[in-house]
Structure 1
Amino acid sequence: MRKLLIIILSLMITLVLYGCTKPNNSILKGFYQSEKTTDGYVIQVSIQPEENGFVQYIDNREVDSGTYDELDDKEYNLNGKNKTVKITLDKDDSFEVLIKKINGGNPIKMKNIDKVPTYFSTKFDDVEKYQKLLEE
């Protein structure tokens, strides 16, 4: 009887410790990137949770930036200077964005590449062309 009690107690402690140490990967943080869209664009979003900020890129060109609000569990509003987007973070730490002028108006899946935000400082002459893609 004593052995059974020790085994049950050990199992309970192990399960509690496992539950406490399991990391929560489903938090909006880091660098997200799409595959190449049907029209050849790559979308990137860099999320900085300490500042509740984000920067959105199309083909490494900064097209929007701003702050974000957590609406509900895993739902966020990205409040940009050019556009506001509502996203829902999936279990695999990805989300979808809809840019009507890209990918035939179909949702674009953004996968988390790294938990560290990445920024591009290269200056391009055609940024306005890419910013117009966000217009409705």
Structure 2
Amino acid sequence: MSKKTVGVLVVALALILTIIGYIPKTTPPFRGAYQSEHVNGYIVQMTFQPEDHSFVQYIDNREVDKGTYEEIKDGLYNINGEMQEFEITLNRDNSFDIIVKKLNNGKPITLKNVDATPAYIGTEFDDVDEYKSLLE
């Protein structure tokens, strides 16, 4: 290859990479099951159903809150639960941060999408109030 051909290829590659950098990045669809890593010995889970804009929040498989959500703008959602109201921003990697007041010293906890299908837990537990108190 001649130096001129190599030069044209380098310029073309640089131009393509520059154009790709300007393509808007959209957030993924907001649906399915999201889960945290262990935080203070607990796992926080949330499931979102896009058909009726409902959600359920669990801590260690105990249902602690449920309600509805609405999209405010691309990637920003208002969560309206029976126990709490808050906003979340869905990241491009299909994760978001929430705060559970009595976990992680009140610092954000990252939940990552683990499945596009919402998962619901129907097991009855006797200690649900103890887990709901983590939200207060």
Taking structure 2 as the reference length, what is the TM-score of the superposition?
A: 0.79
Aligned residues of 2:27 and 2:74 also touching (Cα < 8 A): no
Superposed CA RMSD: 1.0
Cα-to-partner distance string for 1:32-69 (whole Å, 9 max, x where unaligned)? 000000x1110000100001000000000000000001
Cα-to-partner distance string for 1:72-127 (whole Å, 9 max, x where unaligned)? 11000110000012000000000000112101111000000000000000000000
Find the counterpart in structure 2 of residue 65 from structure 1: 66
Find the counterpart in structure 1 of residue 127 from structure 2: 126
Higher mean C-alpha deviation, range 118-127 or range 97-106: 97-106
> Counterparts of 2:116 and 2:56 in 1: how far apart (Å)?
15
Is 1:74 matched up with 2:100? no
Give unpaired runs (5+ residues) of structure 1.
1-23
> Counterparts of 2:135 and 2:72 in 1: how far apart (Å)?
23
> Counterparts of 2:101 and 2:83 in 1: how far apart (Å)?
14
- 1:29 counterpart letter in structure 2: R
Find the counterpart in structure 2 of residue 18 from structure 1: none
> Counterparts of 1:91 and 1:115 in 2: how far apart (Å)?
15
Find the counterpart in structure 2 of residue 29 from structure 1: 31
Change (3 A) 1:113 1:25: farther
Aligned residues of 2:31 and 2:48 also touching (Cα < 8 A): yes
* Number of matched pairs: 111
> Counterparts of 1:30 and 1:85 in 2: how far apart (Å)?
19
Q: Percent identity?
A: 51
Is 1:50 matched up with 2:41? no
Find the counterpart in structure 2 of residue 113 from structure 1: 114
